[in-house]
Amino acid sequence: MSLDLPLIWAGIIATAVLLYVLLDGFDLGIGILFPFAASPQERDVMMDSIAPVWDGNETWLVLGGGGLFAAFPFAYSALMPALYLPVILMLLALILRGVAFEFRHHGRTRGKAFWTAAFAGGSIAATLAQGLVLGGFIQGVTLEGRAFAGGPFDWLTPYSLLVAVGLLAGYTLLGATYLIWRTEGELQVRARRWAWISAGATAALLAVVSVATLLAHPRIAARWGFENGAFDLATLAPLAPIPLLGLVGLGVVILGIRRAHQATSLMGAYLVFLSGYIGLAVGFFPNIVPYDMDFRQAANADNALGLMLVGVVILLPAILGYTAWVYWLFRGKVGSGDAGYH
Amino acid sequence: MELDALILSRLQFAFTIAFHIIFPSFTIGLASFLAVLEGLWLITRNEAFKALYLFWVKIFAISFGMGVVSGVVLSYQLGTNWSVFSAVASPVIGPLLAFEVLTAFFLEASFLGVMLFGWKKVGPGLHFAATTLVAIGTLISAFWIISANSWMQHPTGFTTLADGTLRAVDWWQVIFSPTFPERFAHMALAAYLTTALVVGAASAWRILRRWGQDGPQDEEASRLALRMAIGMFAIVAPLQLLVGDLSGKDVLRVQPAKLAAIEAFWETRTEQPFHIAAWPDRAAEGNRFELSIPKLGSLITAGSASAEVKGLKAFAPEDRPPVFIVFWSFRVMVGLGLLMIGLGAWGVWLLWRTRGPEYSKPFLRAAVAMGPAGFVAVIAGWVVAEVGRQPYVIYGVLRTADAVSPVGAGQVSASLLAFMVIYAVIFSVGVLYILRLIAEGPETPPQEVDEPPGNPLAAGTKGAAP
């Protein structure tokens, strides 16, 4: 029996990162929307809607980082030094917003105000940092052999800043549509308005980022059939379903917001993210460190990948099972007036 | 000393991991304590157990949250600051850390939500199961991380390839490397002791604060918790001394240079003296000052006064660990451990011979003073283990100096400074909030007395499934 272990692991890591974005995306989005809430009570409800699940959602980030270390050590040891400052910024921001879940309940007047600000500021900073990491990743990393050989600010370009702002809009959309699902009354009305604005911003920025990517990164453009000013329909046609998926997602978002129907708008936003995610993957697969290291060169030893695959096959269904159970347990609309177990 | 990326990265790793370890070493024990409390409540229906559970679970939530966020940092810092180590060692310890995420982190995170917010959503049996799963998760997490650390301290079951990276040849020897059982037992007991000391101190403080004219007030929950803590001191502290000694024998066998640093032995000889205090000086290759008991050093470390024990001069200067910090950290750890044993013996004597420990103000004050001792001992113990294995990050295989990332000193100083500022803020605020909760005590029920507190979803639940 011979399994293509590096390929399987590329799929596992890609899934972990996608799940992180989809799940923690709405957590961060709620933090981004925090300053726009009408009252402290509304903020309590917003936070309570994610309090039982945010920790599990963030664990996918640990699986993404830890999994990259364990499955693709050469990618991990090239990317992390290359993206040193935005990664550290992300970690510090996640710390501030993570402790805010508890600290906000225990603070008195000034303490509570401080941790409210920390939750919002941390969420915004973490999102921008993730956008900068993504932008820096798409731009490509300078390697010498298998090690990073670039400068400390290689990741900082107008392009990466644009990606960061785009991700900010996208996570806001996830947060707003999650709130449409989980809240009711005035807060839901407000969430719908936030969703309209952020859906527009997300659509516009996604389009701008896509065009910028094609213009600024010829290697990605070539994958999409754009080369030397001409474009090749035969290359583009099979990929057309990907942007189409994004458009369908946008339609579902609009439908979901109009009817304020359950999780419909959130699912639409998920389709938009999925379209962007696959669209990016088309641009650099099989590279795992664009554009000089593919996932096979970066992969760990087969015996390590094999051992871990046994673990994943046994444990991942269990993890997905109890995660789904926890979401099911805490289903329904979040009310105000009951501030948790505090 | 020049502040280059290497020394700054070492400082940053030491700082972030020392900060992080404070929380797991408390929450591992506290999760088990909560599971025991909830189990006892379910069996006896004694409301004091429930009051204690509802009280300590709030402190658990704060500490666990701080542990989670400071732990995420570590899973990325291996790459940002130690990329060469990551590339070299991942084929061997990568799976261990991946298994930690898969077996422990998801379990803890998911059932923590049920534990904190699920009172009205699940029955008491399922809630107890959630608490127990969180407790098991904390121990599984410790299992993998100590497994990885034990392998780095004494690597076995691997081979080195031509490109310098490592390969596992025997996973059993990697995961259960020879020093792992002692190290894991030592860490788990340390966590239980740390928690017991905090619980004991909080209960004693509570009783002292509400001291009436005729002695302690009726504080059933605090008395109960104090007695449980004394039981833990009395059993775990002496056991820890035995396990620690076993671990020390491992060090003698597999890391003789570390042992020489721990004891500040310079010459290789039989009948090594035991230094109660000393001023080790690496430049002079000797102790500037020492207060010693003859022959006892050989007896303690090797089991016989006539045994020959290696001194630091047996190792090339570039292979010697820092001595001063290792020697003194070890003495801090052991000294505190002996005080813990003393506190346990005192408590047992009070239980056995008097009306009870809650009537002895000196004992209560001692218990309060010993509250932070577990944290100090844990950090001191880790300094012994991690500084003592220098200059290696993987003992005998990879030097720390060769493991660092190709990053500049500027970036690392910026990140180190940012970590220090933010950790200082969240540490002081977290401790403040925990102390405030402890001051309120378990006898001050929140709004509801007869019902466990609710959860944020209770008010408006419509049961709408996705």
pLDDT digits (tens, 9 = 90+) for A34-44: 999 999 999 99
pLDDT digits (tens, 9 = 90+) for A61-91: 999 999 999 999 999 999 999 999 999 999 9
CB of B80 closer than 8 Å to CB of A88: yes
CB contact under 8 A, B106 and A319: yes
CA B71 to chain CA mean position, Å: 14
Which range (A224-233, A305-314, B339-348) has the least confidence? A224-233
User: If you measure CA to CA, which chain B residue comes closest to A77?
Assistant: B83
CB of B456 closer than 8 Å to CB of A48: yes
Cα–Cα distance for residue pair B212/B217, rounded to 1 Å: 6
Q: Quick one: A211 exposed, middle or buried, by C-beta within 10 A (0-12, 13-18, 19+)?
A: exposed
- Say how many CB pairs under 8 Å bridge A and B: 288
User: If you measure CA to CA, which chain B residue comes closest to A316?
Assistant: B102
A341 contacts in chain B (CB < 8 Å): 54, 57-58, 61, 116-117, 119, 453-455
CB contact under 8 A, A339 and B87: no
Token pair 């096979």 in the structure block, residue: A296
H helices of A83-184, in order, are 84-106, 109-139, 158-182
Q: Residue B461 above 80 pLDDT? A: no
Confidence of residue B407 (pLDDT cuts 50, 70, 90): confident
In sequence order, the β-bridge partners of residue A231 are A226
Q: Residue B138 above 90 pLDDT? A: yes
Instruction: Identify the pLDDT of residue B218.
Output: 66
Q: Residue B466 above 50 pLDDT? A: no
Q: Is B168 helix (H, G, I), strand (E, B) or coil?
A: strand
Q: Residue A146 above 90 pLDDT? A: no
Q: From the candidates B17, B34, B75, B92, which should be mutated to test the interface with A, based on the most A CB atoms within 10 A?
A: B75
Q: Quick one: B238 exposed, middle or buried, by C-beta within 10 A (0-12, 13-18, 19+)?
A: middle
Instruction: Identify the pLDDT of residue B43.
Output: 93
Token pair 């690597």 in the structure block, residue: B155
Instruction: Identify the pLDDT of residue A339.
Output: 44
Cα dihedral sign for B10, A96, B145, A82? negative
Cα–Cα distance for residue pair A245/A55, rounded to 1 Å: 30
Looking at the partner chain, which of B58, B86, B459 has a beta carbon nearest the beta carbon of A69? B86
Tokens read off for B196:
């017991």
Q: Where are the domains of chain A?
A: 5-329
Cα–Cα distance for residue pair B7/B397, rounded to 1 Å: 20
Confidence of residue B439 (pLDDT cuts 50, 70, 90): confident
Q: Residue B285 above 50 pLDDT? A: yes
CB of A103 closer than 8 Å to CB of B433: yes
User: If you measure CA to CA, which chain A residue comes closest to B92?
Assistant: A304
Looking at the partner chain, which of A48, A303, A322 has a beta carbon nearest the beta carbon of B110? A322
- d(CA A69, nearest CA chain B) in Å: 6
Instruction: Identify the pLDDT of residue B2.
Output: 61
Q: Quick one: B101 exposed, middle or buried, by C-beta within 10 A (0-12, 13-18, 19+)?
A: buried
Instruction: Identify the pLDDT of residue B241.
Output: 94
∠ CA B27-B32-B36, rounded to 5°: 140
Q: Residue B223 above 80 pLDDT? A: yes
